[in-house]
Every structure is written in structure tokens, then in C-alpha cells.
């Protein structure tokens, strides 16, 4: 006979009933149960490592950092920009407001965990924020890339005069790339369409020129994007026009084969790879995913490192981590660079080859920067870089390259060891010559 079922107390019985009810009500397709935001609150598990990298310095965009004390001074300038926008476009604020109201719910859904005070039905505060912030963002980009001296503002304007804009634009462009400080791109699309009587100029191209003015990249075919960071990330991975078909001068058929073996992580620094006979060469495409290795040449894109690099990479990497389907190309690039940069000597080598343009500080500071970017970052799988790493690993395992690296580390890394080796070879040669001379004298007798 089966034993009697155990006796459950009322609390346990209620919980079991509740779970069974939920089980019966489970939807067949859970995909529709979840919203798909594109602008996220960065979780504390990420921000604890570097809070300032996710915090705007001069201006807030969107609801997450609105009305923070240090950012309030910019609010009056946003409202001035709105007046300029309305005057220049000839449209009424009612017209602008009504256009944005039609997509209000879509804009709200772009934000993860949007506070209830911003929801529809609370006096239009959310739409007011979208309109003023959107106009300000567009105006900053428009005036910064414009070649006209007269941008519609007074010569002594505290933000948009040529002198002031040159100073403050780098700070604003940095704040525009923070994940928590994004605006839905739909806001910018709508505002531009309103200003141009329904004709939607390519906002993507405007953003591309703002961030990649001198790199000749084409943003016109990107289609609808999520926000400024999304466009910027695409720009990082995009090839400059005119060099899309850069020829691989050192690539042979054997280099195109991707080993079926399990990829081994690169633990060698740039200096150590150089000692194993690997030469570094800069690519001309300026695309972060354009990394290749063939016949002893490791080709890397040029990267400029400055005061905004840390914040930019951390926020883009966090976007790739949180947004489903975003891809992991930027994170893969940063983790790859972290592997080949251990100290200032690695940075100095890459700088000499034109791969790192150091506008940040000492080579040691740049090395510390790349090493800190990958703290607590899970290494993503990337097919192209997995193949590159495998080929580098196989190159370093070849007997001659292993011996070459050992010789370089043992005898040629320090001037003193080179001097000692040279002296030893010289003494050995003298010894041989003396022995030969002694033998010749003996036979001459």
C-alpha cells in the first residue's frame, strides 16, 4: 500500500494552489509578455565599478537624470532652443505636441522601468521632456557640424556662440553616448519631419557627421535606429568609404582556413607577440571589427584614446550586454585589446605602429584604461576574432617562432643582456682564434 500523503499546513497548501493556477495560465508564447525597451537603467552590479562613467556631466536627455542638481543650468538653454526651432520651422508648438502624442506610448515603451510620473495622463510632462530634449540634441549636432558662421544665435550666446560651442560640445557629445541618457530616435525623426513639412532628412547621417566627421562613413542606408548610441555603435563597426575592399597583401589560401580546434585565449601581450615574429599593421577602414591575422601580420584598426574613451566604451558595452540582439562586436574588440595590452610597453609598440593614437596621457594610463574596461566582463564568442586568435596561437606554437620568442626574451629584451651576449660572443671568437693560432704555430715548427 502507498503511504498516506504528508499533511500540509494552510500556508503551504495556498502556495501550491497558487503555483498550479499560474501553471495552468501560462501563455504558449511568452515573447509577447515582455516589452522590448532600448534605453536601460544600468544595474548597480555594473555601475559599482565606475559610477562616473555612466553619469552625465553637463546635460540630461530623457527622464532618468532629469532635474539632477548639477544638470539644471542647461534646462533654460533647452527652452531657448525650442523657441529657435519653432521660429525657424514656422510650426506651432501645438502641431509639434500633437505629432509626438501619436507615438507617446511607443516612446514610453522605449524606456526600461519608466517611473509612473512620466506615464501618459500626467499632464504631458513626458512629451514636453521629449520635445525640449530632442530639439536641443538636434540643435547641438546641427550647429557643431555647420560651416556657416551665422548659426542663428548671438555671437556671445553662452552655449551656441562659436567660442562656447567649441568648448562645451565635447562634453555634450560624451553625455549623448551614455546609455541612461538616450532619447528614442523616433523623437528626432518626428521633429525633423515636422520642421521639413513631412520630409524626413537623414538623422542618421547628421549623427554620423557629428561623431565621424573626418572618417568618410556613409550612414544614409542604416534605416530606422533605436537612439544615438545605436547609430554611433554602427559607426564604430562601419568601414570608411573608399577602403571597403582593402587588399590583404599578406593573406594566402592557408590563412583563410579556420581551425576546427577549440580556440585558445590569447594571453600574450603585444611585446610578446612581436618577439614571436608577429608584426603589427594598422588598417585603413577604421572599423573595430576589421581585425585580421595572416602570414605573421596582425592588422588592427586605428583607435584614438582620449578622456571620453572609457565612458564611451563602457556604455556601448553595457548596451550590447543588456539589449537582446544588439551584437557583441565592440565588447569583443575591447576584450581583444585587453589581452594584447598588459603594460606601457605594449601601448608604446602599438602607438609606434600608428594603431593607438594617444590623446589621453601616459602609455601606462592607456594600458590601465584598457585593462579596467574588461573588469567583470564575460568574454563573448565572436567568430572572426575566434579565428584570428586561433591562427595567432598556431603561429606562436611553431618551433622556430617559439625559439625566437625565447631568444628575444632571454637575450634581446634588455640592452645589458644584448651587451653581455655580444661580449660573450666576442670572447668566444677570441678563444677560437687563439686556439687556431696556437695550432698553426705548433705545425709551423
pLDDT tens, 134-187? 999 999 999 998 877 667 888 899 999 888 898 999 999 999 999 999 999 999
- Measured CA to CA, the distance from residue 315 to residue 235 in angstroms comes to 15
281: which strand partners?
299
pLDDT of residue 352: 94
Residue 9 has pLDDT above 50, yes or no: yes
CB 314 within 8 A of CB 299: no
Averaged pLDDT for residues 199-206: 83
Per DSSP, 258 falls in state P
Q: What is the pLDDT of residues 46-59, one digit of tens each?
A: 999 899 999 999 99
Cell of 189: 525623426
Task: Give alpha helix (H) positions in 176-275.
Answer: 185-195, 203-212, 228-237, 270-275
CA atoms within 13 A on the CB side of 13: 6
User: Torsion-angle region of residue 60: left (phi > 0), alpha (psi -120 to 50) or beta?
Assistant: beta
Residue 377 CB partners (closer than 8 Å, separation 6+): 317, 331, 334, 335
Q: What is the pLDDT of residues 250-305, one digit of tens each?
A: 444 444 444 444 445 556 899 989 888 889 999 988 899 999 998 889 999 999 99
Cell of 170: 565635447
- Measured CA to CA, the distance from residue 321 to residue 331 in angstroms comes to 9
Residue 346 has pLDDT above 90, yes or no: yes
Q: What is the pLDDT of residues 94-145, one digit of tens each?
A: 999 999 999 999 999 999 999 988 986 555 899 999 999 999 999 999 999 8
- Measured CA to CA, the distance from residue 244 to residue 391 in angstroms comes to 23
Alpha-carbon distances of 357 from 153, 310, 317, 342, 416, rounded to whole Å: 35, 14, 21, 17, 31
User: Which phi and psi (to 5°) does residue 58 adopt?
Assistant: -125, -25
Cell of 442: 705548433
- Measured CA to CA, the distance from residue 143 to residue 238 in angstroms comes to 25
pLDDT of residue 320: 95
Amino acid at each position: 500500500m502507498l503511504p498516506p500523503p504528508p499533511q500540509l499546513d494552510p500556508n503551504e497548501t495556498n502556495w501550491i494552489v497558487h503555483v498550479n493556477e499560474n501553471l495552468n495560465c501560462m501563455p504558449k508564447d511568452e515573447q509577447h509578455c515582455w516589452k522590448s525597451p532600448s534605453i536601460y537603467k544600468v544595474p548597480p552590479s555594473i555601475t559599482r565599478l565606475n559610477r562616473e562613467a555612466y553619469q552625465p556631466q553637463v546635460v540630461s536627455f530623457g527622464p532618468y537624470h532629469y532635474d539632477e542638481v548639477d544638470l539644471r543650468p542647461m534646462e533654460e538653454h533647452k527652452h531657448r532652443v525650442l523657441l529657435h526651432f519653432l521660429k525657424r520651422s514656422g510650426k506651432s508648438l501645438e502641431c509639434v505636441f500633437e505629432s509626438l502624442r501619436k507615438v507617446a506610448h511607443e516612446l514610453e515603451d522605449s524606456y526600461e522601468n519608466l517611473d509612473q510620473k512620466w506615464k501618459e495622463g500626467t499632464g504631458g510632462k513626458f512629451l514636453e521632456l521629449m520635445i525640449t530634449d530632442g530639439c536641443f540634441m538636434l540643435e547641438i549636432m546641427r550647429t557643431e557640424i555647420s560651416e556657416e558662421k551665422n548659426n542663428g544665435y548671438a555671437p556671445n550666446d553662452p552655449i551656441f556662440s562659436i567660442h562656447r560651442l567649441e568648448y562645451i560640445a565635447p562634453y555634450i557629445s560624451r553625455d549623448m553616448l551614455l546609455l541612461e541618457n538616450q532619447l528614442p530616435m523616433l523623437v528626432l525623426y518626428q521633429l525633423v519631419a515636422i520642421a521639413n513639412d513631412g520630409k524626413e532628412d537623414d538623422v542618421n547621417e547628421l549623427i554620423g557627421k557629428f561623431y565621424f566627421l573626418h572618417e568618410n562613413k556613409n550612414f544614409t542606408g542604416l534605416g530606422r535606429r533605436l537612439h544615438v548610441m545605436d547609430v554611433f555603435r554602427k559607426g564604430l563597426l562601419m568601414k570608411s568609404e573608399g577602403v571597403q575592399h582593402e587588399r590583404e597583401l599578406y593573406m594566402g589560401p592557408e590563412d583563410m582556413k579556420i581551425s576546427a580546434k577549440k580556440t585558445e585565449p590569447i594571453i600574450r601581450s603585444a611585446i610578446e607577440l612581436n618577439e614571436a615574429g608577429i608584426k603589427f599593421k594598422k588598417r585603413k577602414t577604421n572599423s573595430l571589427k576589421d581585425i585580421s591575422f595572416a602570414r605573421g601580420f596582425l592588422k588592427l584598426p586605428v583607435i584614438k584614446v582620449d578622456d571620453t574613451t572609457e565612458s564611451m566604451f563602457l556604455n556601448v558595452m553595457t548596451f550590447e550586454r543588456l539589449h537582446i540582439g544588439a551584437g557583441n562586436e565592440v565588447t569583443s574588440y575591447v576584450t581583444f585589446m585587453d589581452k594584447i595590452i598588459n603594460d606601457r610597453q605594449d601601448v608604446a609598440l602599438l602607438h609606434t605602429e600608428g594603431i593607438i593614437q594617444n590623446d589621453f596621457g601616459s602609455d601606462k594610463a592607456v594600458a590601465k584604461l584598457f585593462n579596467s574596461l574588461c573588469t567583470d566582463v564575460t568574454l563573448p564568442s565572436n567568430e572572426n576574432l575566434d579565428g584570428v586568435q586561433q591562427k595567432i596561437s598556431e603561429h606562436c606554437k611553431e618551433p622556430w617562432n617559439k625559439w625566437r620568442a625565447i631568444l628575444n626574451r632571454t637575450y634581446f629584451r634588455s640592452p645589458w643582456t644584448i651587451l653581455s651576449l655580444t661580449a660573450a660572443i666576442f670572447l668566444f671568437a677570441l678563444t677560437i682564434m687563439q686556439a687556431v693560432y696556437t695550432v698553426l704555430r705548433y705545425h709551423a715548427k
